[in-house]
Each structure stands twice: as structure tokens, then as C-alpha cells.
């Protein structure tokens, strides 16, 4: 089953012309039950398609999560937002959006790393636009971006610590402080993810 899928996928990736040819099917005359297993073979087919499409497996879900998290985060960063008379978005929504951002960044990094690895191994082509992006975002460039984010996140965490100290280290679960502390911690997490992803991508390129 994967062989038929592989022919179609690789023909499409190679920009080959694909046409349908009419044919006539006849019963095979076998008396035994079909050897195909619906769920097992269906999953194997879906797995093959997903592994050959890092964009739909990682990038698209990751970008959707990043966009949604940034939208919700900007709405709730400076205070609660009243959606309906009975529903409002507050710092709980901000915390949820931060988790969405972390997951989204991780998925996008997985997409870039897996796409570069697949192209280096030759089972997926390397688009020109992505090749140009990957060349400009080498290990040192990604580390500089990660370092800038890390400094920004640590600055926010430092402000949160100062704010907590000004309250005599009392109740830390205050909305004003959480609106700074949680996004700052999220930025630090994303910076570490980016740095680790850059090193992992470089490990894959050591052989070359």
C-alpha cells in the first residue's frame, strides 16, 4: 500500500504529469477474505503522507497556534476583555495563550528541522525560498535571536521579582504581576527552544 502512495507522492514532488487512465476491473476469483486491514493499513498510509509533508504535520498547526496565541495574548496582556455580558477573557486566557505559543514555536522548529533533514537525505526536494531562509538563519544567527529573546524574558522576570519584593514577598498570584511574569517565562522558554533547535539542526549537518 505504501508503494502505491510513494509513487503518487514522489511523482507529485518531482512535478511529473499525472493522468488517470480508464481501466476495467474484474473479480480476482479468490475465495479467501481480503488481506487488507482497514485501520492498520489506513494508518500506515496516513503516516506515510504525514512524514512526507512536514508543512502540514508541523508548520501549519504551529503557525495557527502562534497566530491565535499572539491574538489572545495581546487582547489580555493589559487587562481583562469583556466578550459578552457574561464572558470575559482575563489572565487565565493569557496563560493559556502562552502555552499555545510554546507549542506553536516547537512545531515550527520541528518543521524546519525535519524539512532540512529530509532535503539533505534526498527524499524531499528543497524549495528555493526555504533554502535561502535556512542559509541566512544559521546556528549563530538563531543563537543571537535566542539570546535577544532570553534577555527580554529575563528582564521581565527581573521586574516581576522586584514587584514581588515591593509587596514584601506576599501573595504572588496577583493579575498585574502575572501579566508580566507569565509572558516573560514564555519568552525564556521559546528562546531555549530556539537555541536547542538550532544546535539540533547543526548536529544533523555535521556529516556534510
In a 13 Å sphere around the CA of 98, the CA atoms on its Cβ side amount to: 21
Higher model confidence: residue 38 or residue 145?
A: 145
Question: What's the CA gap between 189 and 69, in Å, rounded?
Answer: 15
Q: Hey, where are the domains in the chain?
A: 51-125+132-204
Dump pLDDT digits (tens) for 179-194: 888 999 999 999 999 9
Residue 45: Cβ-neighbour burial (10 angstroms; 0-12, 13-18, 19+):
middle
Q: What is residue 88's three-state secondary structure?
A: strand
The model's pTM: 0.80
Dump pLDDT digits (tens) for 154-176: 999 898 888 888 877 777 667 77
For residue 41, pLDDT beyond 90: no
By residue count, the chain amounts to: 208
Question: What's the CA gap between 137 and 187, in Å, rounded?
Answer: 19
pLDDT for res 71 = 94
Dump pLDDT digits (tens) for 89-148: 888 899 999 999 999 999 999 998 888 888 777 777 776 555 555 545 577 888 899 999
Dump pLDDT digits (tens) for 45-71: 888 888 888 888 999 999 999 999 999
Q: Which of 90, 54, 27 is nearest to 201 (CA)?
A: 54
What's the mean pLDDT in 197-205?
Answer: 83
Residue 167: Cβ-neighbour burial (10 angstroms; 0-12, 13-18, 19+):
exposed
Question: What's the CA gap between 132 and 119, in Å, rounded?
Answer: 13
pLDDT for res 97 = 94
Amino acid at each position: 500500500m505504501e508503494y502505491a502512495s510513494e509513487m503518487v507522492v514522489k511523482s507529485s514532488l518531482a512535478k511529473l504529469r499525472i493522468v488517470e487512465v480508464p481501466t476495467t476491473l474484474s473479480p480476482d476469483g479468490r475465495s479467501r477474505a481480503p488481506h487488507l486491514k482497514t485501520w492498520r493499513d489506513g494508518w500506515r498510509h496516513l503516516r506515510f503522507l504525514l512524514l512526507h509533508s512536514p508543512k502540514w504535520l508541523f508548520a501549519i498547526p504551529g503557525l495557527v497556534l502562534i497566530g491565535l496565541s499572539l491574538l489572545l495574548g495581546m487582547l489580555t496582556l493589559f487587562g481583562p476583555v469583556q466578550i459578552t455580558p457574561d464572558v470575559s477573557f482575563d489572565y487565565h486566557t493569557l496563560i493559556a495563550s502562552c502555552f499555545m505559543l510554546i507549542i506553536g514555536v516547537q512545531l515550527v522548529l520541528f518543521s524546519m528541522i525535519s524539512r532540512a533533514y529530509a532535503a539533505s537525505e534526498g527524499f524531499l526536494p528543497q524549495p528555493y525560498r526555504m533554502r535561502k531562509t535556512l542559509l541566512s538563519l544559521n546556528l549563530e544567527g538563531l543563537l543571537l535571536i535566542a539570546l535577544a529573546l532570553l534577555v527580554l524574558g529575563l528582564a521581565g522576570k527581573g521586574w516581576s521579582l522586584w514587584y514581588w519584593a515591593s509587596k514584601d514577598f506576599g501573595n504572588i498570584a496577583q493579575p498585574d504581576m502575572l501579566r508580566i511574569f507569565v509572558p516573560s517565562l514564555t519568552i525564556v522558554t521559546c528562546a531555549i527552544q530556539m537555541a536547542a533547535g538550532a544546535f539540533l539542526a547543526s548536529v544533523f549537518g555535521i556529516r556534510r
